[in-house]
A and B are shown apart, each in its own frame.
Chain A
Amino acid sequence: MQTYLTLMLLFPLAGGLTCALAGRKLPRQAVEILACAAVWGSFVCAALAAASYAAPQTVTLGGWFSSFDLLIPISLYLDPLSLSLAVMIGFVCGLIHVYAVFYMRKEGDYARFFALLNIFVFAMLTLVLAESLPLLYLGWEGVGFCSYLLIGFWYTDKNNADAGRKAFITTRIGDTALVIALAWMFQLFGTLSITQLNGMGFLMPGSIVTAIGILFLIAAMGKSAQVPLMVWLPDAMAGPTPVSAMIHAATMVTAGVYLLSRMYPLIGSSATAMATIAVTGGVTAFYGATCALAQRDLKRVLAFSTISQIGYMMLGVGAGAVTAATFHLLVHAFFKALLFLGAGCVITAMHHEQDIFKMGGLRKTLPLTFWCYLAGAACLAGLPLTGGFFSKDSILVALWHKGGTLYQSLYALALLTALITAYYSFRMVYLVFGGSDGHKHVHVELKFMQLVLIPLAILGLFGGVLNLPSYIGEGFLTRFFAGLAGGAAVEGTHTEELALQAVAATIALAGLLAAYVRYGKGRSQRLLEAKAYPTAMAAFLLNGWYFDRLYQAVLIRPYQALSGVLWQKVDEGVIDDSLDRLAGGLGFSGSWLGRWSTGRVSIYIVSFAAGGALMLGYLAWLAL
């Protein structure tokens, strides 16, 4: 087991380092094959580890810190949660690497790209497998750093570089909260081992657990783009599409959910923290869905839908259903990666046009992409019997069973969100693929890129078998996660469950119908409308509820003003000025004293001799 885990981490690290250090010297194909092989090797290790998995296990690879009572070993923890995520990461990232090979065919700087992708996989696996929180934090920062570099991959364009910075700085707020939580927990418990911490929650009063839970939540908000720290994710779409698929849809952004699931045994005992998590998730899900309604940029639609879907996962964690949240996380990784990769195909075929109102007719010209994309959209919308339906439904069921006013209203909000989700998913499908005014531009690469979509589409559509509802058969994940805290299945009668699923299915179909009526039939009319100036409501949604402007006004402007004052008044006015004056005074006195050095030897000699005579005279005076 140790071999598998070590190799799982070392493959992408070695691949990334080789690409980074020697990538420019190697031929392009060698780099591509190396990068893909590293990730697939990692996946094979994960699969082997899964095959030989018996019980949760801690593997210590070596020591890192060991001073006084601070012990941070490099140890990995394999349990159902980390194992399922590791397998998913290996598989999805492997597929995306293959896709990226063809997507980035024309790109010159392939070595940097693949080096970063591989290092990202390494960091993500470190995050998932870490047993001690500092190691997790290392992976956490590692993925953030790779994300920053990959968002700004085309850094010559200022917008891209700005988007990278925005993502980095925004997530940093969350990272700070995580560090505070880590330091505080070390002070409280004297250990940073996740397994030990999870068993120690009862030692502390509820208020402290709540505070720690909220700190973790803030960390998750930053990384998983939850309200109010979600503003970076839509802009992060400036990166190459494979990057968006891998980092900003499938893996990194779900790290927050993973963190909360991981620490659930500790923070789950605080009802307040759980409720906060749930409310954050619910609001985010609703926010993301509404914003996705009005977006015109294909990738931004997907970005907002990612925000929304992660909101669902948070909702699941908040409802205490770690299994459901992880289930949705896995299935979401498949179908959202599928949607992004499909979007990448579409964008390539459309000559890098991203406005969905300018697309259309691709159903006939890109049939393979269309069918796969349709599968992804169906999962996203939660159409019955797709993977997305089951996973989303398990969260809804968990919410329903949690009971209480708060969770019931969150259930209602989640249902409303589901309706909107179905609506915007098919709005997107109709606008992109419907109609007949299609034109396309087929590259050779596009054929290979489309092939990658197929396994993802199959996994997305049939991802439900991972955890079928109990009336059909026992869920695999439920059994697998049974040992985990918060992994227990929610109990309920089959009838009740069927009824809830029927409601969810109805809602999803209603959304589909509404989208069909508005964009399927009246597509041409909508295209005409789109040319007009957007209504106030649409503009509100298009700009993400004007959160960017709000932050601009509330945070950035005052900060800039303060910086300006500090710069011009304090720094230049006081510090620089006083230093200037000091330097001027010193210079003046120096040049005044400099007149003493006349350069005339005679004066020097006289003063020197006078000094000597003075000393002699003093000695004589002493002798008298």
Chain B
Amino acid sequence: METTLFYILSAVTVFGTLCAITARQAVRAIVYLVTSFFALALIFYILGAPLVAAFEVIIYAGAIMVLFLFVIMMLELGSPEKLPKPRLADWWPAVILFLAVVGSVTVIAASRQPAIAPGFTAISVREFSQALFTRYGIAVEAISMQLLFALVGALYLGRRR
């Protein structure tokens, strides 16, 4: 049941992303992407990471994508339809790179096929939190500092002069 769900969700994710990157307007792309991220969040949940799944929804689909939307609105691009689109020729390198990366990873993943064995183990929130605030305490501090810097930087860049 979960296995089937995983493949369905994978298909949704891939399809959503595909629509997002080929969308004609950025706003549409973001909406497609939100869909895709919701599916991804579910995959995370299936993979035994409920916290990550929750954050995926809250932060990614919720905050970051909304931030994108705000910025697109702020930019007053006039008529977004007139923005230049990638020509067909621009897609060729993208396609080649896509094929190269996917092909390589498939080959590598297929050649190292040791373990179907133990299956996936869920990790409890307690375990997760203990690791986060004991072993990775310094990393958390560093990340918080970085967020602060980003905040200051964004304020500086964004002020009117």
Contact = CB atoms under 8 A, between A and B. Distances in A.
Interface of A: 606, 609-610, 612-613, 616-617, 619-620, 623-624
Given A612-B101, A613-B100, A620-B103, 13 more contacts: A609-B97, A610-B93, A613-B97, A613-B101, A616-B100, A616-B104, A616-B108, A617-B100, A617-B104, A620-B107, A623-B108, A623-B112, A624-B107
B111 interface: yes
A623 B97 contact: no
9 contacts: A610-B93, A616-B100, A616-B101, A616-B108, A617-B100, A620-B108, A623-B108, A624-B107, A624-B111
B93 A619 contact: no
A623 B112 CA distance: 8
| Chain A, interface SS category | helix
B104 A620 contact: yes
B103 to A, nearest CB: 7
Interface string B71-100: 000000000000000000000010001001
Enumerate the 6 nearest inter-chain pairs by beta-carbon distance, A residue then B residue, closest first.
Answer: A620-B104, A616-B104, A620-B107, A623-B111, A613-B100, A623-B108
A624 B93 CA distance: 25
A598 to B, nearest CB: 16
A616 B105 contact: yes
A65 to B, nearest CB: 56
Contacts, number: 30
A624 B101 CA distance: 15
Contacts of B103: 617, 620
Nearest to B106: A620
A612 B79 CA distance: 36
Contacts of B107: 620, 623-624
Contacts of B104: 613, 616-617, 619-620
B135 to A, nearest CB: 30
A616 B105 CA distance: 7
A606 B95 CA distance: 12
Contact of B93 (A606, A617, A623): A606
A529 B51 CA distance: 120
A613 B104 CA distance: 8
A512 B110 CA distance: 122
A356 B105 CA distance: 106
Contacts of A624: 107, 111
Nearest to A615: B104
Contacts of A606: 93
A606 B97 CA distance: 9
Contacts of B112: 623
Nearest to A612: B101
A613 B93 CA distance: 11
A620 B108 CA distance: 5
A617 B107 CA distance: 9
A128 to B, nearest CB: 73
Interface string B97-138: 100110111011001100000000000000000000000000
Contacts of A609: 97
A612 B97 CA distance: 9
- Most chain A beta-carbon contacts within 10 A, residue among B97, B103, B104: B104
